[in-house]
A and B are shown apart, each in its own frame.
Chain A
């Protein structure tokens, strides 16, 4: 469960990257964070992994109050998460298998019985079984992102955060990556994806939280990338209502239900 209450993030210049964000993400939800450049998507993800600290407000992630979480406990907190980065960020001098296993090693899980199986299972899940001995530079962009996802999920996190995971990938590969994240979500992992990719958001029809100038301007349970006013009218004609959790349709049980 992720809870944000009136979160403000301001930088030294006084500019607010987030201006009072309030948001609840229940367990096993799948959320697209959308918005233009500078809307606050990446800042929000950085706050969620405690890469940055909010100026004010409350952020609770998996039972941790990130505002008061001591620095020494941040590594243990991050070990509960899976993170996928826009620029992929595999260790260039490690093989795919070593990259994936690194997550286990960091958490001290690499010596447990079955650790190798966990690595193999994660690589199998993302379709990278045959690439164990390859180095990142020997992989395509899509394969690299799959390897990064394997690294993110190998510790069986309850929350997976992905910042623009399909950026600079061809459309068909982007869709494969998003489908992969959907499959991971179906295994019970909460997934939050910040993206610019209109097509994948529209095809997935999952919860969409839109940010604009650091504020949540839309929170649709089964949204599209940019829901037009006419589309909203059509939803409302079917009895949909805007509530705290966004647009809800009668008879449809959303993830927040």
Chain B
């Protein structure tokens, strides 16, 4: 067994070198398809970050009853902050609300003069992780005794929920679809490389080689196509990711998007799995076709 494994590895490496044109074609196809796949992943990932940032811009505001003091308001703020989907909370006292209004209407003093006393209520402002959680948080706030009224931007929430769902499904569909195309293109390239050597396979059978004796070197060769392709794409990804992602974020600079620190790792894992997996399975399937003939 060790002998066959050693033979298969050595033969695969030698064939990779000796069938240089076929190997280069298969590796080239692998590199191109994986780079495009990574591009798709990057765009979809950034789009999702943008949607997420938009979702977090939706505020739920709970206006407190007139007799509620600051201590109770702050306690409510702290309590609602522990809800899982809440990312940020803020308590605005009546005095702070008035101060904010004065600041906003600084150039319209006549309007402020019409106001006597402080008619503004204290409020708790809440930002949630995604728009679909907004109503749930609003219900929790409405159940509080100290809360007089809760406002939710219904239209914005509905639009954002639909947009987020469309973006997630669309993104997943695109990625899965393109991963499928990647598998087919790389698989077919390997199939062509194996097809060019079908007479070699037939000859091996006629001189008494077992199916696995024939298959192993091809499978390892396919795996090597994937490894070489994935290493190239991995290196290019690491080198270019910062620049490309920076350009994308620059387009969306009106949104507070931070790049996902796990993205490079995710891209490398996808590159490795798709490259090596498709190379290996593609070779196995292609050779099997000729062995079954």
- A residues near B (Cβ < 8 Å) are 49, 51, 75-79, 81, 83, 85, 89, 91-93, 102-103, 105-108, 110-111, 151
Contacts and interface: CB of A to CB of B under 8 A. Distances in A.
Interface residues of B, number: 18
Given A93-B18, A93-B19, A111-B3, A106 B206 contact: no
A102 to B, nearest CB: 7
A93 B15 contact: yes
B208 A106 contact: yes
Contacts of B205: 75, 78
B204 A89 contact: no
A74 to B, nearest CB: 8
Q: 10 closest Cβ contacts across the A-B interface? A: A79-B208, A78-B208, A93-B18, A106-B209, A75-B210, A75-B208, A89-B203, A106-B208, A103-B207, A106-B207
Contacts of A76: 208
Contact of B207 (A83, A92, A93, A110): A83
Given A76-B208, A106-B209, A108-B3, 9 more contacts: A75-B208, A78-B207, A79-B207, A91-B200, A93-B18, A102-B204, A106-B207, A106-B208, A151-B207
B72 to A, nearest CB: 82
23 contacts: A49-B206, A75-B205, A75-B208, A75-B209, A75-B210, A75-B213, A76-B208, A77-B208, A78-B207, A79-B207, A81-B208, A83-B206, A85-B203, A85-B206, A91-B203, A92-B200, A106-B204, A106-B207, A106-B208, A106-B209, A110-B3, A111-B3, A151-B207
Contact of A78 (B7, B15, B206): B206
B199 A89 contact: yes
Contacts of B203: 85, 89, 91
B65 to A, nearest CB: 85
Contacts of B19: 93
Contacts, number: 45
A105 B206 CA distance: 14
A85 B208 CA distance: 14
Contacts of A105: 7
Most chain A beta-carbon neighbours within 10 Å: one of B7, B15, B206, B207: B207
Contacts of B3: 108, 110-111
Interface in B147-190: none
A225 B117 CA distance: 127
Interface in B17-35: 18-19
Nearest to A152: B207
A111 B3 CA distance: 8
A102 B207 contact: yes
Contacts of A103: 207-208
Nearest to A107: B208
A221 B15 CA distance: 47
Contacts of A89: 199, 203
B32 to A, nearest CB: 26
A79 B204 CA distance: 11
